[in-house]
Structure 1
Amino acid sequence: MTVVGLDLGGTKIAAGVFDGEKLLSKVVLPTPEEGGMAVVEALAEGVERAEREAGARALAIGLGTPGPLDFKEGIIRFTPNIRGLLDFPIRRLLEEATRRPVYLENDANAAALAEHHLGAARGEASSLFLTVSTGIGGGVVLGGRVLRGERGQGGELGHITLLPGGPACGCGLEGCLEALAAGRALEREASYAYNRKVDTKELFQLFAEGEPKARRILLQAARYVGIGLASLVKAFDPGVVVVGGGLALNAPPAYWETLEEAYRHYLSGWEVPPLRRALLGGEAGLLGAALTAHLAVRGKGQ
């Protein structure tokens, strides 16, 4: 079955044509700064170019997109990093532009789906995936399907509250895992500690040089991730836990050691699911979007 996967990001759009697990073609386009209908046009162009390159016409399209989604109506409720997508009927507009059925998935959920079926959790009955990067997201997969919840807002793993009254989060609340341990959080803490702007790349370098402030900042973030994962395991009891994202996968060994130590400590007395590193890297979102379409079409018996 040939499908197109679309991964919509704040700065770029990736489109790939898949025949089963085989990637036939991939194209990358910039996300239009003006947002709105320009995004729909760019997505449709990505589909057309990827199909032309693959020499194949896809049966359906899977779209991984940020922001809370109304799955029933095919609407993006809002996206913090892309303009003009407030209560935006992305499914209808993209179906009109491509004349193909479009299946939506949250971008972090799409990555979770990919790691479950094709990556570090392959062969497991259930999995929990956390991506630690500029922000923190993730998803839970049960019975091969993403857990969306009653209102489509399940799996917002980066927004569990770990520290009431803690740092403000982009979601509007405070003390979320993302506000404590994501890349932006590390940069906030480092910039304050060093009284100048410090990004994560420099923070890692300072850590490698043995700078005490950098060590304290990075390892405290790792502890928060471990504590958050332990809490999520108690809620979902997955077969395996997978951690990915650019920040986590590029972090030094001490980060992973601290993360796992906290994870195991806060699961003392519980059975502890294996903790694995993600395998699919930056391709997880695109693969997951394609899988979303594949599973939806297969479920309809086509």
Structure 2
Amino acid sequence: MRARHLEGWSGKFLKKELQKIFHSPVYLENDTALVGLGEASHGAGRGKSIVAYVTVSTGVNGVRIVDGRIDRNAMGFEIGKQIISVLGPHSYIWEDFVSGTAIKKRTGLAPEKITDKQIWHDVERYLAYGLDNVIRYWSPELIVIGGGIATSGKISMAQIANHIKELIPFYPALPPLKRATLGDSAGLLGGIEYLKTHHG
């Protein structure tokens, strides 16, 4: 397995070890990918063939779902690590602008305690920058946005969409943005869908 945030776990054969313990097949998948699969199959993305799911919480990540499956990939998805700004020798990734961690670092306040509307207007604009790239690279029919920041009620999907239109004026139609709807059930439902296609 690959686990950049868990020291000592990378390269471990966790799947094989768990199969020995439980005497049954074991599947490992990224949590965001399973949440996205759940939303695409049973939630806000239901009925669409190509869904981009983006989670904006403590960190930022996402997944592309195609025809009810997590899109093929070589190393997983890390859309929160896309470079948004370069100033001299320093580069800044999307997470540096929109994650809960970054917002707290920038303002000194936990996101749930921020009432200054201008701060949230700035977050909406920064979200549009990253979603612009998501649209260009993944070409989704729909974008579902989940995570604590996105579902807090403090940001406007309409305002984010307006910012995206300013960034991509030549597109005849942009994919709609929807908030995630399944909450904590999304990962479980995504896991069930994953098993349907991988275990039979």
Q: Scaled by the length of structure 2, what TM-score is found?
A: 0.90
Contact 1:114–1:284 (CA under 8 A) maintained in structure 2:
yes
Structure-to-structure mapping, 1:11-160, within 5 angstroms:
75=1, 77-80=2-5, 82=6, 84-149=8-73, 151-153=74-76, 155-160=77-82
Q: Deviations over 1:86-113 (max 9, x none)?
A: 3222211111111111122111111111
Contact 1:119–1:278 (CA under 8 A) maintained in structure 2:
yes
The secondary structure found in structure 1 opposite 2:64 is strand
Q: Which residue of 2 aligns with 1:163?
A: 85
Q: Which residue of 2 aligns with 1:216?
A: 118
Structure 1: gaps (5+ residues): 1-74, 169-173, 192-197, 208-213
Percent identity over paired residues: 27
The secondary structure found in structure 1 opposite 2:162 is helix
Q: Deviations over 1:47-87 (max 9, x none)?
A: xxxxxxxxxxxxxxxxxxxxxxxxxxxx1x2252x564232
Contact 2:141–2:176 (CA under 8 A) maintained in structure 1:
yes
Q: Deviations over 1:177-231 (max 9, x none)?
A: 111101001001101xxxxxx211211xxx2xxxxxx333322121111221122
Bigger mean CA deviation after superposition, 86-95 or 181-190: 86-95
Contact 2:157–2:177 (CA under 8 A) maintained in structure 1:
no
The yes-or-no answer on 1:274 pairing with 2:191 is no
Q: Which residue of 1 aligns with 2:113?
A: 202
What amino acid is the match of 1:131?
Answer: T
What amino acid is the match of 2:83?
Answer: T
Structure possessing the higher radius of gyration over alpha carbons: 1
d(CA) in 1 for partners of 2:106, 2:118: 10
d(CA) in 2 for partners of 1:102, 1:249: 32
Residue 234 of structure 1: how far off its partner (Å): 1.3
Structure-to-structure mapping, 1:278-297, within 5 angstroms:
278-297=180-199
Residue 238 of structure 1: how far off its partner (Å): 0.9
Residue 296 of structure 1: how far off its partner (Å): 0.3
Larger proportion of strand: 1
Q: Deviations over 1:279-301 (max 9, x none)?
A: 11122223222322221012xxx
Q: Which residue of 2 aligns with 1:247?
A: 149
d(CA) in 2 for partners of 1:165, 1:251: 32
d(CA) in 1 for partners of 2:86, 2:185: 35
Higher relative contact order (CA 8 A, sep 6+): 2
Q: Scaled by the length of structure 1, what TM-score is found?
A: 0.61
What amino acid is the match of 1:160?
Answer: Q
d(CA) in 1 for partners of 2:175, 2:120: 24
Q: Which residue of 1 aligns with 2:140?
A: 238
Aligned pair partner of 1:183 in 100, 103, 109: 100
Contact 2:55–2:147 (CA under 8 A) maintained in structure 1:
yes
The secondary structure found in structure 1 opposite 2:184 is helix
Q: Which residue of 2 aligns with 1:259?
A: 160
Structure 2: gaps (5+ residues): none
d(CA) in 1 for partners of 2:150, 2:42: 20
What amino acid is the match of 1:228?
Answer: G
What is the CA RMSD across the aligned residues, in angstroms? 2.0
d(CA) in 1 for partners of 2:164, 2:8: 40
